[in-house]
Amino acid sequence: MCGIVGYVGARTATPILIEGLKRLEYRGYDSAGVATLDGDQLAIRRASGKIGRLEAALAAAPAAGSQGIAHTRWATHGPPTERNAHPHLSQDGTIAVVHNGIIENAPLLRQELQARGYVFQSDTDTEVLAHLIEVAYAGRLEAAVIEALWQVEGTYGIAVVSSREPGTIVAARKGSPLLVGLGQGEHFVASDASAILSHTRDVVYLDDGDVAVVTRDGYRVVDLEASQRDKDVSRIDWDVQQIERGGYPHFMLKEIFEQPATVQNTMRGRLILEEGFTKLGGLNIPKDDLLAVDNIIITACGTSWHSALIGEMMIEELCRIPVEVEYASEFRYRNPIVTPRTLCIVISQSGETADTLAAMREAKRRGARTLGLVNVVGSTIAREDDGGIYLHAGPEIGVASTKAFTSQVVALALFTLKLARLRDLSVERGRQIAQALADLPAQIQSILDRADEVEALAEEFKRASNFLYLGRGYNFPAALEGALKLKEISYIHAEGYPAAEMKHGPIALIDELMPVVCLAPHDAVFDKVVSNVQEVKARKGRVIAITTRDEPALRGVVDHEFRIPETVDLLTPVLASIPLQLLAYHIAVKRGCNVDQPRNLAKSVTVE
């Protein structure tokens, strides 16, 4: 996630800006930069990689001045290079902008600006803003920023300075957090209070549509009509660590609760509801080549392999193309069948998993076209694939993958819908799936609003030594994922199984000490799952059912029931995984485990 820091006061700005950026390191980033104003001299220093490289650049060429803005970038548009690092400059070099968020209509605005002779120096959507503000500037930075913001669609948290108005920072927010920090003879702007906590605990949180004009002696807030907005001053009583987790006790819980927003971000600008279609700009596969694909391999590891299994079912059901899902570690060493008409989808949150990277390279060597579903922009897999779909889920800090998994399933659904509608899926069915996707964020939120019900379940089952997770169809991979979540953070042995497969061995494990989580949405195989539940109960097993309706067939049969909203079958795993993430999280916490950094595990397995 990108970070913003701004300062205007009597002290030298650079040390304050760098300290603030370091406080934002936890959010994940891949490049950083500062812009300072010394009188009317605007200095820019940027570097890819860690903040230490930016510090080196500043040591080599100090940036003076008691005003400045700074940014850590988590790339969304354009690779993490110095040229794409913020701040971005207007063409006349007088205006510098740092930006969090996504400007959805940036490509169109870029074309219009280029037609007017503006030459772009970066691949970013942010640079569009810098030029729009220059175009609008007519003596007041505040007014120019407002006029520019009227033209953008999407989300932003920005800070802007200009050598034509030393002593002023203009900040604005829509969909990306931003606040003003209040000091004595100095003021701050930040995307996160942790960046300025060492200087002040008095802040004004900006709301969507706010524009703040900040000087060393004060600030004022207006709306996009330039009307004054009165804002409350808040006193921060958190410590830095609490702030980094947004007030949550662990990154994993924060990321679980981010999922309404992250699933929304994965779909942002990509869903065409009225056509039941999707717009995926990064596929880089000509339509005819995409239609020529006659077999698909999906390769991944861990949680990403679970989303691959869901993708397999989606593509085969809706596109009628055979799909093979392969553990990357297996694929790379066996002699797989790959043809020039093979599409190899590579799923990886980190984009750096060694086995997955090797499997992709092997598929490419054998002539397959590769498509990466990756979260980390500019990661190795994202750079080496032939095309891709970025998840836009923001940095996932907790080792146990949660928001990346739901975004992977959504990205697979977006790809499947596009391919199916290019083939023979009807517009009606396409609209139904598109609408179901659009409904997901609110449905996820409705589940999160009942998280305390899951915590109560965790209290009852925290001492179990073994768990069994059962599901059918799309919910079999969801069962596997639920089991993986539990075992990797609570160290309880847990297995996921196709519900019917239980009779072929695992049923021997069932007794009154064995909790069985059963995914039982009201779908075509619901009655079969009920039979499996009864088999478990006949052997004194304790059943937690994840259902979508008040089911008479389960009433009085299961020991616990957690209801999730109904959606189309292929998206049920997105909703079913939320209570399973929470169950694993709360059991692990109650067992005193290190939830964010479980023993023996790494966030990205970059070794074989």
H/E run at residue 135: helix 126-136
| CB neighbours of residue 209 within 10 Å | 15
Q: Could you tell me how many residues make up the chain?
A: 608
Distance CA 308, CA 283 (A): 17
* Contact call for residues 527 and 554 (beta carbons, < 8 A): no
* Closer Cβ to ligand AGP, 98 or 576, answer by number: 576
CA distance 23 to 17: 10
Among left, alpha and beta (phi > 0; psi -120 to 50; other), residue 238 is: beta
Interface with ligand AGP, residue 349, by CB under 6 A: yes
535 torsion bin: left (phi>0), alpha (psi -120 to 50), beta (else)? alpha
Shortest Å distance, C-beta 405 to ligand AGP: 8
Amino acid at 44: I
Query: Looking at beta carbons only, is 68 or 496 nearer to ligand AGP?
Result: 496
Check if the beta carbon of residue 296 is closer than 8 Å to that of residue 308: no
Q: Considering the complex, what minimum distance in angstroms separates the CB of residue 605 from ligand AGP?
A: 5
**Active-site residue, selected from the candidate residues 50, 462, 537, 603:** 603
| Beta-carbon count within 10 A of 242 CB | 15
| Span interacting with ligand AGP, options 25-33, 37-45, 155-163, 295-303, rule CB under 6 A | 295-303
Catalytic residue flag (residue 174): no
Of 353 and 572, the one with the shorter C-beta distance to ligand AGP is 353
From the CB of 476, what's the least distance to ligand AGP, in Å? 17
Residue 475 or 577 with smaller CB distance to ligand AGP:
577
Closest approach, Cβ 258 to ligand AGP, in A, equals 15
- 2 in catalytic set: yes
- Rounded to whole angstroms, the Cα distance separating 440 from 442 reads 6
Sole binder of ligand AGP in the list 84, 356, 475, 548 (CB under 6 A): 356
Supply the minimum distance, in Å, between the C-beta of residue 359 and ligand AGP: 11
Q: Of 5, 8, 194, 19, whose CA–CA distance to 86 is shortest?
A: 5
Positions 361 through 400 that interact with ligand AGP (CB under 6 A): 399-400
- Within 476-515, the residues that bind ligand AGP by CB under 6 A are 488
Binding residue for ligand AGP, selected from 163, 348, 416, 577, defined by CB under 6 A: 348
Of 451 and 605, CB closest to ligand AGP:
605
Provide the 3-class DSSP secondary structure of residue 479. Answer: helix
Minimum Å gap between C-beta 354 and ligand AGP is 9
Judged by beta carbon, residue 534 or residue 604, the one nearer ligand AGP is 604
With binding defined as CB under 6 A, does residue 84 bind ligand AGP? no
Least separation in angstroms between CB 31 and ligand AGP: 20
By CB under 6 A, how many residues form the interface with ligand AGP? 15
Sole window of 18-26, 35-43, 232-240, 302-310 interacting with ligand AGP (rule: CB under 6 A): 302-310
Q: What's phi and psi for 132, nearest 5 deg?
A: -65, -35
303 lies in the site for ligand AGP, by CB under 6 A: yes
Q: What is the dihedral of CA 286, 291, 292, 298, to 10 degrees?
A: 90
Nearer to ligand AGP, 318 or 382 (CB): 382
Contacts of 183 (CB under 8 A, 6+ apart): 9, 199, 200
353 binds ligand AGP (CB under 6 A): yes
Contact criterion met (CB below 8 Å) for 192 and 119? no
**58 vs 483 by CB, closer to ligand AGP:** 483
Q: Which residue is nearest to ligand AGP (CB)?
A: 302
| Binding piece for ligand AGP, criterion CB under 6 A, among 343-351, 507-515, 550-558, 562-570 | 343-351
Listing DSSP states for 259-297 in one string gives HHHHHHHHHTTTEEGGGTEE--TT----HHHHHH--EEE
For residue 276, is it left (φ>0), alpha (ψ between -120 and 50) or beta? left
- Of 145, 197, 256, 301, the residue at the interface with ligand AGP (CB under 6 A) is 301
- Can you give the binding site for ligand AGP, defined by CB under 6 A? 301-304, 348-350, 353, 356, 399-401, 488, 604-605
Residues recognised as catalytic: 2, 603
